[in-house]
Amino acid sequence: MGKVYLVGAGPGDPELITVKGLRCIQEADVILYDRLVNKELLEHAKKGCDLIYCGKLPNYHFMKQETINSFLVKHAQKGKTVTRLKGGDPFVFGRGGEEAEALSKNRIAFEVIPGITSGIAAPAYAGIPVTHRNIASSYAIVTGHRKKGQEEELKWESLVNGIDTLAIYMGITNLPYICKQLIKHGKDKNTPVALVEWGSLEKQRTVTGTLDTIENIVRKEKIENPSMIIVGEVVRLRDELKWFEQLVEVEEPVKLTAVSGAL
C-alpha cells in the first residue's frame, strides 16, 4: 500500500511552497495538481512521475471530485507515493477534507502538508495586514460562492458585527450581492474594500474602493478570478505599506531552483 500527501502549494509564488511540500513533489510517483498550482513547481518532479491535471474553472469542473478521490485511492493501492498538489492550503476551501475522508475510508495512509492560503498571502502582497493592533483584532475567511438551490449559509449579521476584517474567496461573480448584504446588515457603505487579482505573482493587480463603489471599479478595471476580496479598515494601510509592486519593478525574482538546490 502506498501513501498520499495532501500538499498546499501556496497562493502562486513558487517560492512560498514549504520545504516539506517541495520534498513531497520531488519524491512522488504520481502528482495530481490543480489549475492554480504554479507549473514551475512541477519541474521538480522526478523523471517518470505521472502528472495528472485536475483543474477546475468557475462553473466548470475538468475532473469531478469523486473522480479525484478514486484516483488517489487507486494509485495508492498500487503502492505509489502520491502527492495531491493544491493551490493555497488543502483544508481551506480546497476540498482536502473530502479527499482525506476518502483515503481514511479505504485505510490508506496520508499526511496533510499545510500551505499558505491566499486569504493571508494576497492581502500581505498587496500591503494589507489582515490584523493590526490598532485597527483589527478579528479576522474571518469566508466563501463568496453560493451553491444553487441552497439556503444562504453566510451569517451576514455576525460577520458585520463580530469581525473586523473579511477575506472572501471566490466572490467575484457575487460581488454585488456581497456588498449589498454587508451594507444591509449594518456595514458602513464607506468601508474600504480591496480586490487582489493573481496575488503573489508578477501579474498581481490590486484595486481599492468602498462597499458602495467597488463594484463599478472592478467592472471598469476588468478584475477577474482568481481574486481575493478584503473588507475592512486595514485596507486603508495599503497606500503606506504596499511593497510588492515596487519590488517587481526593480528586482528579478529569485528562482526556486536556487532554493531547492540548497535543501
CB 80 within 8 A of CB 40: no
Among this protein's residues, is 34 annotated catalytic?
A: yes
pLDDT digits (tens, 9 = 90+) for 121-166: 999 999 999 999 999 999 999 998 765 555 565 688 999 999 999 9
Q: Which of 80, 86, 89, 170 is catalytic?
A: 170
Among this protein's residues, is 63 annotated catalytic?
A: no
Which is it for the CA torsion 129, 134, 140, 144, positive or negative? negative
**228 or 257: which carries more pLDDT confidence?**
228
Q: Which residue has the cell 486569504?
A: 119
pLDDT digits (tens, 9 = 90+) for 176-212: 999 999 999 999 999 999 999 999 999 999 999 999 9
Among this protein's residues, is 56 annotated catalytic?
A: yes
CB 94 within 8 A of CB 8: yes
CB-count exposure of residue 246 (10 Å: 0-12, 13-18, 19+): exposed
Q: What is the reported pTM?
A: 0.88
> Domain residues of the chain, as ranges?
3-116, 119-246
Tell me how far apart the terminal alpha carbons of the chain are, to the nearest angstrom: 28
Q: Which of 56, 164, 212, 242 is catalytic?
A: 56
Which CATH code for domain 119-246?
3.30.950.10
CB 40 within 8 A of CB 253: no
Q: Which of 13, 29, 34, 89 is catalytic?
A: 34
Q: Which CATH architecture has domain 3-116?
A: 3-Layer(aba) Sandwich (3.40)
Q: Determine the average pLDDT of the residues in 243-252.
A: 76
